[in-house]
A = this chain, B = another copy of it.
Amino acid sequence: MPHDDIRMRGFLRRTSLSDALLLLEPHSLPLEAEAVPVEQAWGRVLAEPLTAPINVPHFHRAAMDGYAVHGEDTFGAGRYQPLPLQVRGQSLPGRPFVGTVQRGEAVQIMTGAPLPEGTNAVLPAECTEQIGDLVNALEAVPPWRHVSRIGEDLKAGGPLLPEARRLRPQDLALLASVGQTSVLVRRRPTVDLLTTGSELLPPGRAPDGPQIVDSNSVMLPPLVERDGGVLLRRVRLPDDRASLRAALQESEADVVLVTGGTSVGVEDQAPALVAELGTLLMHGLSLKPAAPTGFGRMGTRRVFLLPGNPVSCFCAYDCLVAQTLRKLGGRSPEGPYRAQSVRLQTKVASQIGRAEYVRLRVEGTDAFVVASGGASILSSTTRADAFFLTEEQSEGHAVGEWITVWRYDA
């Protein structure tokens, strides 16, 4: 055991969650831009502000079914004073009326069709009665009523969407409507997942003898997907320095997640390996049950050391990795969970000097502690409806206190 090997001696120093997040900031800057087709850009983040290349609509467009008219010709019309107009033809979407419409004339028109030359309003179908080739106006419409005028939606050269916008379905529709084929968005971070542990069986196997199932490799991929990462590789490794070393060196991902072997036990190879192959920037988090968490850098790779215990792994992922992935992809660091204000029905004890990951069952606005701290009870995260972190300087919370929790079912 070399002199600076911390294994079996406990963490030298534990970093607070807020300090860890500060430390991660320079490693969480948005990745470069890439072009993607508009139809695949849902949820992606714009890397530049966009302006409208054309007017939308690019012609005066009927906004209702009815008759294109000179609005002035309908002035004075009413149910008991029908004003007749001569019907000259039809204007349909994609098949406009050709010609100029004179005063006293009308053209039957459908929503979306171009307004014929000479007309300036649409008289809705329900305000008319057609008799042969005449149509009676039964109401008056002022000029430009029921018409989408040129550039009414978007003006050529005007703002379309702002930089850093996370694209919504309606944004994609807007981009398509101006003829855009692709957009520059932030590249999504790539992720390699290395789960270590000689006791681990692949998912799908039943626990057997001293062996348990590698559940982290089932839990982390959907979390990575949720936060906009792209999983490249998923590798299961024994507690063996050489295998982990090779896997770390082979990785070409932006982010490497190592689970297990991240603490200070004799078989915890990951921290020393990261220190040897790159820089170990943090090891030990003052957050229960995620103490065996670390972070380092190996060239362009950001390496997260996550505890092997599933609750600890989940907690460390949600508190540190989630927002790193979101920020790399240009997204807001805010998580996916919805806040809820609840009244504690159970006392929460907390040790000063470290935060605790408290899981709660929520009934209405009453909250009952399911587990606090404890790492090994995975079902505490599935029986709970919500969680919160105690403050490092808090001694806990009393029954009856109102606190804000984060719902898992967001």
B-binding residues in A (CB < 8 A): 8-10, 37-39, 42-43, 54, 56-59, 61, 63, 65, 90, 92-96, 108, 110-114, 125-126, 130, 148, 152-154, 160-161, 166, 168-179, 181, 197-200, 203-207, 210-216, 218-223, 225-226, 239, 263-268, 308-310, 314, 338, 375-379, 381-382, 408-409
Task: Give the oligomeric copy count.
Answer: 2
A263 to B266, CA, bound (A): 73
Q: Are B310's CB and A173's CB within 8 A? A: yes
Given A168-B382, A376-B148, A378-B177; A126-B10 close (CB under 8 Å):
yes
Q: In the complex, how many angstroms separate the beta carbon of A97 from the nearest chain B beta carbon?
A: 10
Q: In the complex, how many angstroms separate the beta carbon of A352 from the nearest chain B beta carbon?
A: 18
A134 to B2, CA, bound (A): 21
Q: Are B172's CB and A219's CB within 8 A? A: yes
The chain B residue sitting closest to A94, CB to CB, is B199
Q: Are A54's CB and B218's CB within 8 A? A: no
Q: Are A210's CB and B263's CB within 8 A? A: no
Q: Are A218's CB and B176's CB within 8 A? A: yes
**Which of B96, B113, B268, B377 is within 8 Å of A153, CB to CB?**
B377
Q: In the complex, how many angstroms separate the beta carbon of A217 from the nearest chain B beta carbon?
A: 8
Q: A9-B126, A95-B198 are in contact. List 9 more A-B contacts (CB 8 A).
A: A9-B125, A57-B376, A65-B263, A93-B210, A94-B199, A111-B263, A112-B309, A176-B213, A177-B310
**Which of B148, B161, B338 is within 8 Å of A382, CB to CB?**
B161
Given A126-B9, A265-B65; A378-B153 close (CB under 8 Å):
yes
Q: Are A216's CB and B108's CB within 8 A? A: no
Q: Are A172's CB and B218's CB within 8 A? A: yes
A382 to B267, CA, bound (A): 54
The chain B residue sitting closest to A147, CB to CB, is B376
Given A93-B199, A376-B63; A205-B177 close (CB under 8 Å):
no
- Residue among A8, A178, A226, A310 with max Cβ neighbours from chain B (10 Å): A8
Chain B residues whose C-beta falls within 8 Å of the C-beta of A408 in the assembled complex? 168, 170
